[in-house]
Structure 1
Amino acid sequence: MSGLDVAGAVVRYGDLVAVDGVDLALHSGEIVALLGASGSGKSSLLRGIAGLEPLAAGRVAWDDRDLSAVPVHQRGFGLMFQDGQLFSHLSVAGNIAYGLYREPKPARRPRVEELLSLVGLPGYANRKVSELSGGQAQRVALARSLAPRPRLLLLDEPLSALDRNLREHLVGVLGEVLRTTGTTALYVTHDQDEAFALADRVGVMAEGRMLQLDAPDTLWRRPASRAVAGFLGYEPFLEAAAATGLGLVGADAGELVGIGPAGLVVDAAGVAVPVVGQRYQRGEVLIDVRLPDGQLATVRTAQKHDGAELAVRLDPAGCAVIAADGSAQVGVGLSSPQQVGRRQQPDRVHH
């Protein structure tokens, strides 16, 4: 295939298996994000692809060429990390031009200016690195990574050290730059919103294994297992009978219904449940309620609720049904008397 092909990759640190038989393919120009908790193996997989960690088993290839014996600096891959790793003794232009040593000198300056414009920092060529903000430094690091036109850019938590507002802004900049340049990229992050906003496909890893790799909308609407659904924020999980009691029709005995962030809604005709607490979060009120089966769940509303009880129901568009064999369906075959055939957008930002 044209692009990256990872087959059966295993990365070990002594007796610890950090990556356990992962298969992954990226087509030219595609952006794939890897999600997972700390220790899930996502960064170890990236380092194995880069050649920074040896593979204990498996294969990494580009355009069907095995890279096992190819050193890091000859793989044609770019790397960008959390701290940017800029050279403090060089100017902004000097940092960006660092990887252009193979280019003729007259071609370097135009390339630097082109990239500074692309990342939104025109006129910054002569600035000192010490004069840059955190967001500006990461833009310079991105420009430096792209300068030699890598065939694959590997990004390991590049925005995690920045505050939320800046991350949300820069993930848009990053996506625009990667697509404008047609760069094939593998992006490792723990932030689901970053992954869903940026990537063409998103993978979820746990314990060194790839649990699911799909387009963002498919991953959100059809998580392949309870582990994936739980990681994405579906909770709690109800038995089919309990879900039916909350107005959801279509789940069978033996199946579990995962409640997504928008899966439990206020409805005057719904089931009255006790309110156990509420809190504000970024323009919303999150009301914690106790469901009839005793589990706690959260309802997102626009305003505070003053009563001791709240009438709620399940919205089929915001719930995932996890089958006994681990497969899942979202909104398929599910309905409620108040809402048949209606579907909401997932509570995630997609590009």
Structure 2
Amino acid sequence: MLKLVNIKKKFNDKTVLDGINLEIEKGSIVSMLGPSGSGKTTLLNIILGLIPMDDGKIFFDDEDFTNIPMKNRGFNIVFQDYALFPNLNAYKNIIYSMKNNTDFVSKDELDSIIETLELTPHLKKRIEQLSGGQKQRVALARTLVTKPRILLLDEPLSALDGVIKETIKERIKLITKQYNLTTIIVTHDPEEALTMSDKVLIINDGLVSQYGTPKEIIETPQNSFIEEFILRQLKIKKDNIYDLFGECYA
């Protein structure tokens, strides 16, 4: 569904992406995982169309999207800080993009999204009255009403913890399956990437270190960086990885 071919990007004299190749199947969740400065957020912004690439091609459903502007791609993003309008309540934030746009969801579809994300009790609340998890769900609903071809999530769980974090994780997976929605997630957290995704793209210094299923990455890391990065971030012994990510083998 989405194919990236030899994506390259420099900022001044620094190479940020150096020949990224990637194919993402329709309806799947793919996480882009890597340390700070690895190039994952830059790649997300290139897919969105927010910043130009220096070289390479982007194809969507076999159509060349390389020079198609962001507003015409039909991709949509939930930013890390949610970017909600503080002067509008939760419901008005959700429907903001729907005004005078018949390409977006119907009233029944809107109600279904609100119900799925369990936002009904919170629709009249001001943004400042919402918890972090509720803000995340409002931002997700506001994006879903636009019927995105691809859903992009920038560090969606970074501001959350505990039960709220696990709840949002399950909601994202539920939404993806329910709407057969291709979803790309940027994260620096191996646990998030390995437990949420069908495939994980690990980027280091602008290069693809490995692209595979969580099981493949856990069982057969392709280089020492991957193994050390995952172990260091999780702060556990290698023997315990299989216990923590048992669901990857279901």
TM-score w.r.t. structure 1 length? 0.66
Q: Deviations over 1:293-331 (max 9, x none)?
A: xxxxxxxxxxxxxxxxxxxxxxxxx39xxxxxxxxxxxx
Aligned length: 246
Give the Cα–Cα distance (whole angstroms) in 1 for the partners of residues 189 and 198 of structure 2.
Answer: 16
Give the drift of 1:110.
3.3
Secondary structure of 1:202's counterpart equals strand
Matches within 5 A, 1:215-294: 215-233=213-231, 261-263=236-238
- Which residue does 1:93 correspond to in 2? 91
C-alpha displacement at 1:17, in angstroms?
1.4
CA contact under 8 A between 1:11 and 1:53: conserved in structure 2?
no
Distance 1:15 1:114, change over 3 A: same
**What CA deviation, in whole Å up to 9, does each residue of 1:177-224 have, x standing for no partner?**
221121101111011111111100011110011100111011111101
**Alpha-carbon separation, structure 2, partners of 1:349 and 1:57:** 40
Unaligned regions of 5+ residues in structure 1, if any?
Answer: 236-259, 264-317, 320-343
Report the Cα distance in structure 2 between the residues aligned to 1:222 and 1:228, rounded to whole angstroms.
Answer: 10
**Corresponding residue of 1:28:** 26
| Runs of 4 or more above 4 Å deviation | none
Distance 1:350 1:153 in 2: 24
Q: Which residue in 2 is equivalent to 1:46? A: 44
Partner of 1:146: 144
Matches within 5 A, 1:4-153: 4-100=2-98, 101-103=100-102, 108-153=106-151
Match of 2:153 in 1: 155
Give the aligned partner of residue 347 of structure 1: 244
Q: Distance in 1 between matches of 2:59 and 2:218?
A: 29
Q: CA deviation at 1:348?
A: 2.6
Higher RCO structure, 1 or 2 (CA under 8 Å, sep 6+) = 2
More strand by share: 1
2:183 equivalent to 1:185 = yes
CA–CA separation in structure 1 for the residues paired with 2:243 and 2:78: 30
Q: CA deviation at 1:64?
A: 1.6
Give the conservation status (yes or no) of the 8 Å contact 1:168–1:194: no
Paired residue secondary structure (2:121) = coil
Unaligned runs of 5+ in 2: none
Paired letter, 2:3: D
8 Å CA contact retained: 2:28, 2:176:
no
How far residue 23 of structure 1 moved from its aligned partner, in angstroms, is: 0.6
Tell me how far apart the structure 2 counterparts of residues 25 and 190 of structure 1 sit (CA, whole Å): 21
Q: CA RMSD in A?
A: 2.2
1:237-279 C-alpha deviation (Å, 9 max, x unpaired): xxxxxxxxxxxxxxxxxxxxxxx9444xxxxxxxxxxxxxxxx
Q: Kindly state the Cα deviation for residue 82 of structure 1 after the two structures are TM-superposed.
A: 0.9
Larger radius of gyration: 1
Counterpart residue type for residue 348 of structure 1: F
Aligned to 1:334: none
